[in-house]
Structure 1
C-alpha cells in the first residue's frame, strides 16, 4: 500500500500575514539599532557624561541607606493640600486612631518652614522642618541654594520674589538679609572658585605633559556694545573637556561719578572696585594680559599657545608686552571663528541689498540664491575646506575660491 503525502503548503493569505510580520520585525529591528546608535553617540558627549555621572552619584549616595532611587538630600515640591491629605491617611502615634486634625505653620524663614500637625483626638502635636541647617551656620540649606540660583540665573532677589509668587511658594528671605548674606556668600564662592581653577590647572598640566600650556581666552561684558562699565575675561584649557583656569574682572565704574552725594557719606568705609580707566573695548585684552602675567606666581605654568578669535585684539597686546621674558607665545587660530565671520559677512551683504533687484532682475535671496540655507551651507563648506587644507596654503586658496564658483 502506498501512503499519501501530507501537503504542508501554507495558504496564500497566511503567507501574506507572515511576510508582513517579518517586514515589521525587520523595520523594528532597524529602528532599534538606529536608536541605539544615536543614544550611544549622545552618551559619549561630555555634557551627557557629566549628567549621567551626577545622577549615578546621587543614587549611589542614597542606595546604601534605602532601596529608593529618590535622592534623600534633594527637594520635592508638594502642594499643601496633597500633604494634608496624605497625613490624614496615617494613624496618630499616641492614640493610634486615624489622624484628623490641623496643619499649621509655626515658623517661616524665607522658603524654610516648620510645619506642625495636631491630632484632634488626643491633641498630640508633631513638627517637621522642611530644610536642614547649613553646617556651622544658622542658615537653612534651601535659602542658600535659592540665593545661589538667583545669581546663576541673573535674577537676584527681585526675580526670586516673582518666581516664588508665580509658583505659589513662600517668599524668599527679606532683601536686607539677602544683601547681608551676599557678602558672606561671595567669600565662599571665591574660595571655591580658586580651588576649582587650581584643580583644573593641575589636570591641564597632566593632560598636556608639561607646564607650557595651550589656552583659549575670551571676554564678555555686562551689557552689549562697548559702553559697558563692567567687563571680564576668562582663560580656558584646550583639553577634551575644557575647564576655566583663570578669570579677571575689569570695572570702570566709580561711585564717586555715579552718585557724588552718596560718595561723600560713605567715603570713610567704601572700598572702590574701580580698577580700569580705559575704554570698554580694551577690557578683554587687558584682563587676559593680567592673567598671563600672574600664571607663574599663581600656578607655576606658562601659557605659550593662545587660541583666540579672528577679530580679537588680545594677541597683538601679548606680542607687544611680553609676559614671559625669553618665551614666545604662539597664536593658534580658531577655525570656527573664520567660518562664523564668513557667515556674518554674507548676512550683511544680504541685508544691505534687501529686496533690490540685481542685474538679472532678481533679488539676492530666494531659491538657489543667497538664502539662509545656502549661507549655512557656505559656512560649513568653508570650515570643512580649512580643516582639510590647513597645512597647505595653495590648496586652501583654491578650495576656498572653488566654493564661490560652484
Structure 2
C-alpha cells in the first residue's frame, strides 16, 4: 500500500495532499451486522487501495473461550489478558463506515506522511457531516458520487445548448447572402464548448466546489442493507 501511496504522490507532482475515494461494506444485509470493512483508494489514472479498516461488535475468540470460564478460570483469565480481542466497536452498524473512514484519515500522517484533502464517497453513509465536524485536519472536502452525476448532466445540457446554437447559426449562414452573416459565426463558440475531458482528480474537485450537498444528506446515519 505504501507503493500505491507514493505512486499517487508522484502523479500529483510530488504534492502529499491527496484526493481519495472510499466505501464501506458489511458482512450481512440489514441493520444488525456485527462486522464491517472500509477501504480508501487513490484517485489516480490507475486507482489502487491505499488503506483498509475493519470493525467488529463481537469477538469469536472470546466466545470460543467462554467454555473455559467454568472449567479452568485461571486459564480463561490468562487467555483474556493475552489474546488480541477482535471486539473494537460499539454502536449501530450504520455508524461503522464513518468511524472507519475517519480513523484512516487520522492515521494518514503517521502511517504515510500525507493528508487526504478531499474524500469522494458513494453518498450512502453519512460520512460527510462526520468528517467535516470531526476533521483530523483543516480543509477536508467531501464529495458524493451523486455530485459527479450532477456535473455530468450539467455538461451534457451545456453541450446540447451550444450545439443547437451552432446549428441555427450554420443555417443562417447558408441562407444569408451577406458577408456579415458569414462572419457572425465566430469560432469563439468552439472555445466555450464544455467537453468532458481527462481532467485529473484535483481539477474535478475544483469543478465540484460549487455543488454543495443538500443539508438533508448530512443528518442521519445510514444503516447497511441497500448496498453491500
Taking structure 1 as the reference length, what is the TM-score of the superposition? 0.34
Aligned to 1:219: 24
- Check conservation: 2:118, 2:140, Cα contact below 8 A: yes
Q: Does 1:243 align with 2:48?
A: yes
Provide the C-alpha distance between the structure 2 equivalents of 1:389 and 1:312, rounded to a whole number of angstroms.
Answer: 29
Provide the C-alpha distance between the structure 2 equivalents of 1:208 and 1:230, rounded to a whole number of angstroms.
Answer: 35
Equivalent of residue 103 in structure 2, options 281, 284, 290: 290
Aligned to 2:169: none
Q: Does 1:385 align with 2:153?
A: yes
Aligned to 2:189: none
- Check conservation: 1:222, 1:228, Cα contact below 8 A: yes
Alignment of 1:36-185 (within 5 A): none
- Check conservation: 1:285, 1:314, Cα contact below 8 A: yes
Q: Does 1:313 align with 2:126?
A: yes
Provide the C-alpha distance between the structure 2 equivalents of 1:323 and 1:290, rounded to a whole number of angstroms.
Answer: 9
Distance 1:321 1:260, change over 3 A: same
Higher RCO (C-alpha under 8 Å, 6+ residues apart)? 2
Provide the C-alpha distance between the structure 2 equivalents of 1:311 and 1:387, rounded to a whole number of angstroms.
Answer: 24
Name the SS of the counterpart of 1:217 in structure 2: strand
Aligned to 1:268: 78
Name the SS of the counterpart of 1:385 in structure 2: helix
Give every structure 1 segment of 4 or more consecutive aligned residues whose post-TM-superposition deviation is greater than 6 Å.
Answer: 390-393
Larger Cα Rg: Structure 1 or Structure 2? 1
Q: Does 1:330 align with 2:177?
A: no
Distance 1:256 1:267, change over 3 A: farther
How far apart are residue 198 of structure 1 and its match?
0.3
Provide the C-alpha distance between the structure 1 equivalents of 2:104 and 2:20, rounded to a whole number of angstroms.
Answer: 11
In angstroms, what is the RMSD of aligned CA positions? 2.8
Name the SS of the counterpart of 2:19 in structure 1: strand
Name the SS of the counterpart of 2:78 in structure 1: coil
Provide the C-alpha distance between the structure 1 equivalents of 2:9 and 2:68, rounded to a whole number of angstroms.
Answer: 46
Distance 1:383 1:322, change over 3 A: closer
- Check conservation: 2:94, 2:125, Cα contact below 8 A: no
What CA deviation, in whole Å up to 9, does each residue of 1:32-51 have, x standing for no partner?
xxxxxxxxxxxxxxxxxxxx
Aligned length, in residue pairs: 152
How far apart are residue 259 of structure 1 and its match?
5.4
Aligned to 2:39: 234
What CA deviation, in whole Å up to 9, does each residue of 1:157-185 have, x standing for no partner?
xxxxxxxxxxxxxxxxxxxxxxxxxxxxx
Distance 1:284 1:389, change over 3 A: farther
How far apart are residue 312 of structure 1 and its match?
2.4
Provide the C-alpha distance between the structure 2 equivalents of 1:256 and 1:198, rounded to a whole number of angstroms.
Answer: 31
Note the residue ranges of structure 2 that are not aligned, 5 or more in a row.
159-206, 211-228
Provide the C-alpha distance between the structure 2 equivalents of 1:263 and 1:280, rounded to a whole number of angstroms.
Answer: 30
What CA deviation, in whole Å up to 9, does each residue of 1:305-363 have, x standing for no partner?
11012232112111111201xx211122314885xxxxxxxxxxxxxxxxxxxxxxxxx
What CA deviation, in whole Å up to 9, does each residue of 1:255-310 have, x standing for no partner?
48845733625442233111101111111110011000000011000000110122
